[in-house]
Amino acid sequence: MEQPIATPFELPADVIALVPMRNVVLFPHVLMPVTVGRERSIATIQHALQAKTPVGIVLQKDAAVDEPGLEALCQVGTIANIVRHIASEDGTHHAVCLGVERFRIEELVEGYPFIAARIKRIQENAAITTQIEALALQLRERAIEILSLLPGVPAELAHALQATRAPSDLADITASLLDTEISEKQKLLETIDTEARLQYVLQIITRRIEVLRLSQEISERTKEQMEDRERKYLLREQLKAIQKELGEDGENDQEIAKLHDTIAAAGMPSDIEEQTRKELQRLQRMPAASSEYSMLHTYLEWMTELPWQLPEEKPIDLHAAREVLEADHFGLERIKQRIVEFLAVQKLKPQGRAPILCFVGPPGVGKTSLGQSIARALQRPFVRVSLGGVHDEAEMRGHRRTYVGAMPGNIIQGLRKAGARNCVMMLDEIDKMTASAHGDPSAALLEILDPEQNSTFRDNYLGVPFDLSRVIFIATANVIDNVPPPVRDRMEIIDLPGYTQEEKLQIAQRYLVQRQSETNGLQTDQCVLTSEALQSIVANYTREAGVRQFEREIGRVMRHAALRIAQGELQQVRIDTLNLPDILGPEKFEHELALLTDMPGVATGLAWTPVGGDILFIEATRVNGSGRLILTGQLGDVMKESAQAALTLVKARASDLQIPASVFDGIDVHLHVPAGAIPKDGPSAGVAMFIALASLFTNRPVRHDVAMTGEISLRGFVLPVGGIKEKILAAQRAGIQKVLLPARNRKDLQDVPETTRQAMQFIFLETADDAVRAALNPINRNAAATADLILV
Contact (CB, 8 A) for 69 and 63: no
Mark out the alpha helices in 76-193 (DSSP H runs): 130-149, 155-163, 167-177, 182-190
CA 620 to chain centre: 40
| CA separation for the pair 608, 481 (Å, rounded) | 13
Query: What angle in degrees, to the nearest 10, is found between the helix axes of 531-540 and 548-566?
Result: 130
| CA separation for the pair 650, 716 (Å, rounded) | 9
| CA separation for the pair 654, 677 (Å, rounded) | 34
Sheet (strand 738-742) strand order: 629-632, 667-672, 612-624, 602-609, 706-708, 738-742, 761-765
| CA separation for the pair 85, 532 (Å, rounded) | 91
- β-pair partners for 95: 34, 85
The strand ranges marked E within 348-445 are 357-360, 382-386, 424-428
Q: Which of 435, 421, 424 is nearest to 475 (CA)?
A: 424
- Give the sign of the dihedral formed by CA 589, CA 590, CA 592, CA 597: negative
> Any idea what DSSP says for residue 773?
H
| C-alpha triplet 657, 663, 668: angle, nearest 5° | 115
The Cβ of residue 738 has, within 10 Å, a number of other Cβ atoms equal to 17
- Quick check: helix, strand or coil at residue 276? helix
- β-pair partners for 31: 98
| CA separation for the pair 259, 278 (Å, rounded) | 12
| CA separation for the pair 577, 457 (Å, rounded) | 57
| CA separation for the pair 662, 791 (Å, rounded) | 9
The Cβ of residue 728 has, within 10 Å, a number of other Cβ atoms equal to 28
| CA separation for the pair 329, 344 (Å, rounded) | 19
| CA separation for the pair 331, 620 (Å, rounded) | 40
- Quick check: helix, strand or coil at residue 536? helix
- Quick check: helix, strand or coil at residue 18? strand
Query: Which positions are annotated as active-site residues?
Result: 684, 727
DSSP H or E run through 210 = helix 194-246
498: left (phi over 0), alpha (psi -120 to 50) or beta: left
The Cβ of residue 98 has, within 10 Å, a number of other Cβ atoms equal to 18
The one-letter amino acid at 507: I
